[in-house]
Structure 1
Amino acid sequence: MAAAFALSGCGREGAPAPATPKDGDTPAAAAAPNPASAATPAPAQPPATTAESTSAAVEPLSCTDQIGADAAAARVATCRAVSPATHPPCNAANSCAMIDDEIARSCALLGRDAATTAGCGPAADSAQAAADVVRRYYAAIDARDYATAWQQWGEDGRPGQSYAAFKAGFAQTRAVKATIGTLGASDGAAGSVYQPVPVTVEATLADGTRQRFRGDYILRRVNGVDGASAAQLRWRIDSAKLEEVPAQ
């Protein structure tokens, strides 16, 4: 199911999918099969795995699970310090990616003040901020926080694919790591800015198979046009093209 893992979010076609992903969602209109995964058998439980251990294996990881209690507490404190939300997702029981996404969202709302605000990273319109979206995307997948990964495509998720279909594409993925390459120049067109983000992705499947993919994500944001919302001014994944390469 590896090809489906890395390619399940690739491309960009069709109408937007439901905006609020939930684990119980039923695909409203599943995307067309990806050519790289069309011949892959439907996901099956790995051999010698009990129902109990399988359930535990796919539970989302908390930020505490990922980086330890002290580091998670520090990240939560930063999130609470910058978030304007009444009930922000600044909780160590959530994935680090979810917390980081709230920090990035909140810092983007601060505009120029973010540069002097403790805890805020690179400028929201920078190439590095675009790369951080791809990092959060794969960090969320690694933590099995598919809702946060889904929303890196935009508030309504990945166009042309339901959340249920998106999540199913990672059913056999147990670990994933993304390494960002050298960032090039952005390109503007029709009120939007596009930033290529080269990436190498290493994945481990439920049966222990290791796979490697390389390619580019294209991130998009609105170029400060009048009336643009804060969400439109943030980088979001627009498209992706990855190819499998020999694992190391």
Structure 2
Amino acid sequence: MTKRNHAGLLSPLMLMLAACNGGGEQQAAPSGQSAADAPPAKAAVETASGTPATTAPAAAPAGPRSCAAEIGQQAADRRVAVCRNLSPATHPPCNAANSCAMIENEIARSCALLGKDGALPADCRPAPDSKAAAIAVVKLYYSALDAGDYDTAWLQWGENGPPKQTPDGFRTGFAHTRSTRVAIGAVGDAEGAAGSIYLTVPVTVEATLDTGASQRFGGDYVLRRVNNVDGASADQLRWHITSAKLRPLPAR
């Protein structure tokens, strides 16, 4: 069954904070909801005045915002040129009509492939194995969400997406989110374990709902990549989000 969110009182990002981890913080379901707590369609909830209200099913999210609309045609064309120069794909998604996040994701993917064979081109900055590249993944994730490009956002969790999520559920989880943005905190050193490298990226997230209400959250994303070992694929060598913990913050 398709999972649905409620506008206003139960926002998509509030439903991200569904499962307590026992430490006082809450584990974020990255799609904006948890399977256990997602309400059924037409479920009754309380309004701010305490009066029960019946919510309608969430509307289908709008299509992604183009990169040209986001940063201007000239700037978008420059990123497209870089993308086409680096991408080995026959028909890469390097087009100003796509979201900036999709274009940047293709650039990062291409750089990971090229990095396996030797020196990186000058346009491959930051280097795929760097701390800066891990931070860029979190920024790209929120850029994709803000543009309504949920397919590209999904890929920042790896090819299989967030744990225990379906693409449709992930997309529907943000149906009532108008915009999102993220600020990155001070990032420490990466840690190695069992052939992988992990990096914790602290964030502050601000979201605006389709009701106009604003919400703030703070917490961490943990990113992972396989160590530089023989036989690792380009996808394994890229940073991906592996978990997230977010908590509500007071309004400004």
> Does the alignment reach a TM-score above 0.5?
yes
Greater share of helix residues, 1 or 2?
1
Please say if 1:235 is aligned against 2:239. yes
Trace 1:96-245 onto structure 2 (pairs within 5 A): 96-111=100-115, 112-114=118-120, 117-245=121-249
Count of aligned residue pairs for this structure pair = 220
Deviation track 1:154-198 (CA, whole Å, cap 9, x = no partner) reads 011112111111111111000111111111011111111100011
Aligned AA for 1:113?
A
TM-score, L = length of structure 1: 0.80
Contact 1:43 1:171 in 2 (8 A): no
Partner of 2:76: 72
Please say if 1:4 is aligned against 2:12. yes
Contact 2:11 2:209 in 1 (8 A): no
Task: Measure how far apart 1:39 and its partner are.
Answer: 9.4
Moved over 2 A (4+): 1-13, 30-35, 38-46
What is the identity percentage for the equivalent residue pairs of Structure 1 and Structure 2? 57
Task: Measure how far apart 1:227 and its partner are.
Answer: 1.8
Q: Closer, same or farther in 2 for the Cα pair 1:62/1:172, shift >3 Å?
A: same
Q: Closer, same or farther in 2 for the Cα pair 1:43/1:96, shift >3 Å?
A: farther
Larger radius of gyration: 2
Please say if 1:33 is aligned against 2:41. no
Task: Measure how far apart 1:7 and its partner are.
Answer: 5.9
Please say if 1:86 is aligned against 2:55. no
Q: Closer, same or farther in 2 for the Cα pair 1:34/1:192, shift >3 Å?
A: farther
Deviation track 1:53-109 (CA, whole Å, cap 9, x = no partner) reads x87x72310001101111111110010011111110000010000000000111112
Contact 1:43 1:172 in 2 (8 A): no
Q: Closer, same or farther in 2 for the Cα pair 1:32/1:225, shift >3 Å?
A: farther
RMSD, aligned CA = 2.8
Trace 1:23-62 onto structure 2 (pairs within 5 A): 31-33=35-37, 44=56, 58-62=62-66
Greater share of strand residues, 1 or 2?
2
Q: Closer, same or farther in 2 for the Cα pair 1:120/1:3, shift >3 Å?
A: same
Aligned AA for 1:204?
T
Query: SS in structure 2 opposite 1:4?
Result: coil
Deviation track 1:190-242 (CA, whole Å, cap 9, x = no partner) reads 11110001111110000000111110000001112332111011100000000
Q: Can you give the 5+ residue segments of structure 1 that lack an aligned partner in the other structure?
A: 14-29, 47-53
Q: Closer, same or farther in 2 for the Cα pair 1:217/1:7, shift >3 Å?
A: farther
Aligned AA for 1:175?
S
Q: Answer 1 or 2: higher relative contact order, Cα 8 Å, separation at least 6.
A: 1
Aligned AA for 1:213?
F
Contact 1:125 1:234 in 2 (8 A): yes
